[in-house]
Structure 1
Amino acid sequence: MKPLFKRILAISAVALLAAGCAAPKQVDYAAFKQSRPRSIVVLPPLNESPDVQATYSMLSQVTYPLAEAGYYVLPVALVDETFKQNGLTTAGDIHGVAPAKLKDIFGADAALYVTVTKYGTTYMVLSSATVVTASAKLVDLKSGETLWSGSASASNDEGGNSGGGLVGMLVTAAIKQVVNSVTEAGHTVAGVTSQRLLSAGRPGSILYGPRNPKYGTD
């Protein structure tokens, strides 16, 4: 079995290397730079995962990198209550509201639409990993045009196993399963995903906003 494990580890290493060498996505920022949004309303994320916590876990995380990037982000509690007052209680219904209507209600320059495709922990014999994957798009509320889109993923198992043979791998997996089951592992990983998805200053990322000193340099 030892050669088999070596082969699996070798394949994993190649996969990680390929992922690390992937070319950054080419983004056309012409519409973004013309729109110059200053304020953003974040809509409750669509949840395509089986975990019911995904929507509000991501919603509570995505505002931080946007604010750090230099945008005024409308308070999510106020936005959520406003939707409820207007009879909109599900993310699907909210995402279906016309951009012009969102502009009338909130007065923001742009809206962030987020979709969570993976959220939760997968348990296997030799490992367990909590993975959160999400995509997002920023839409101009005046024109309805998409200014930017991207996706990101994070896992609490990105470092892989640190050795110790089969027994060590089993012990590590058992400990991780216990930790993931008694802690909000998904919420923590969602924070990493949000940072990767919405932090400015990287190839393919959103542009800096007017509240950031680097505004206009990207």
Structure 2
Amino acid sequence: MFKFLSFKLWLALSTLGLLAACAQPVKHVDYTAFKSSRPRSILVLPPENETADVTATNSMLSQMTLPLAESGYYVVPVAVMDETFKQNGLTMAAEIQATSPAKLREIFGADAALYSKVTQYGTVYHLIDSATVVTASAKLIDLKTGDVLWEGRASASSNEGNSNSGGGLIAMLVTAAIKQIANSLTDKSHDIAGVTSYRLLHAGPPNGLLYGPRSPKYGTD
């Protein structure tokens, strides 16, 4: 009996050890370059779109300036940025992001630029459920030095907090189909993109941007 219990205890401890070894540690951002640079103004560049939805870039871009402004930064107006690039023959996000940091600083006078990409955008239908998901990543580049000041990634889903328990398989299938149609008709992706933008670009711990000079929390981080 003692040997059997010892074996079960060993097995449990071994399993916990394996799970601990497989668990990914929380990645903490290195703010050294950010604190040294302390940008006051940010130029938001159009996100690259790696999804099949052609509206992803504009949908995200239209909602990325607000969390930055609320975090205490002056943000170059999107309309000014867009028109300036159009006047210079640049309309694609990849081409715009290929512009050198020095040139961007010369044209817009901003301290830093936000480079981003959308990797998931839209409603995905599964066998017994559907969800609208938007995932994006971004990095903040110092336009004086070209250094990376910060990097982040965020995602949001329309199914967060929902439960599919109860109702049976047929009811779940019908619910999933109705959700997909409703999400497509109401452009749910745009709403979810707003949540993703906020999660990605708000300031504060543990891995968000540092607060900008227009925020009352400036310098406290």
Q: What TM-score, normalized by structure 1, do the two folds share?
A: 0.87
The amino acid across from 1:86 in the alignment is N
The amino acid across from 1:37 in the alignment is P
| Residue of structure 2 aligned with 1:181, choices 180, 184, 208 | 184
In the other structure, the counterpart of 2:121 is 119
Q: Tell me, in whole angstroms, the C-alpha distance in 1 between the residues paired with 2:82 and 2:104.
A: 13
In the other structure, the counterpart of 2:59 is 57
In the other structure, the counterpart of 1:202 is 205
The amino acid across from 1:69 in the alignment is S
State the secondary structure of the residue aligned to 2:150.
strand
In the other structure, the counterpart of 1:87 is 89
Q: Tell me, in whole angstroms, the C-alpha distance in 1 between the residues paired with 2:71 and 2:24.
A: 24
State the secondary structure of the residue aligned to 2:64.
helix
Cα distance per residue 1:22-43 (max 9 Å; x no partner): 6432111111011010000000
Which sections of structure 2, spanning at least 5 residues, go unmatched? 1-19
Query: Judging changes above 3 Å, is the alpha-carbon distance between structure 1 residues 23 and 192 closer, same or farther for their aligned structure 2 residues?
Result: farther
In the other structure, the counterpart of 2:194 is 191
| Residue of structure 1 aligned with 2:78, choices 76, 79, 92 | 76
State the secondary structure of the residue aligned to 1:61.
coil
State the secondary structure of the residue aligned to 1:117.
strand
Q: Tell me, in whole angstroms, the C-alpha distance in 2 between the residues paired with 1:111 and 1:59.
A: 13
Within 5 Å, give how 1:102-117 maps onto structure 2.
102-117=104-119
State the secondary structure of the residue aligned to 1:121.
strand
In the other structure, the counterpart of 2:99 is 97
* Alpha-carbon distance, 1:163 to partner: 2.4
Cα distance per residue 1:53-110 (max 9 Å; x no partner): 0000000011111011000001101100000111111111101000000000000000
The amino acid across from 1:70 in the alignment is G
* Alpha-carbon distance, 1:144 to partner: 0.5
CA contact (8 A) 1:119 1:186 kept: yes
Q: Tell me, in whole angstroms, the C-alpha distance in 1 between the residues paired with 2:57 and 2:178.
A: 27
The amino acid across from 2:100 in the alignment is A
- Give the length in aligned residue pairs: 199
CA contact (8 A) 1:25 1:203 kept: no
In the other structure, the counterpart of 1:216 is 219
Q: Tell me, in whole angstroms, the C-alpha distance in 2 between the residues paired with 1:87 and 1:173.
A: 44
| TM superposition outliers: structure 1 runs of 4+ over 6 Å | none
Within 5 Å, give how 1:11-26 maps onto structure 2.
23-26=25-28
Higher Cα Rg, which structure: 2
Query: Judging changes above 3 Å, is the alpha-carbon distance between structure 1 residues 22 and 202 closer, same or farther for their aligned structure 2 residues?
Result: farther
In the other structure, the counterpart of 2:14 is none
* Alpha-carbon distance, 1:157 to partner: 1.1
Q: Tell me, in whole angstroms, the C-alpha distance in 2 between the residues paired with 1:154 and 1:137.
A: 18
Which sections of structure 1, spanning at least 5 residues, go unmatched? 1-17
Q: What TM-score, normalized by structure 2, do the two folds share?
A: 0.86
In the other structure, the counterpart of 1:133 is 135
The amino acid across from 1:188 in the alignment is D
The amino acid across from 2:35 in the alignment is K
Deviates more, 1:171-180 or 1:71-80: 171-180
Q: Tell me, in whole angstroms, the C-alpha distance in 1 between the residues paired with 2:150 and 2:47.
A: 16
CA contact (8 A) 1:128 1:173 kept: yes
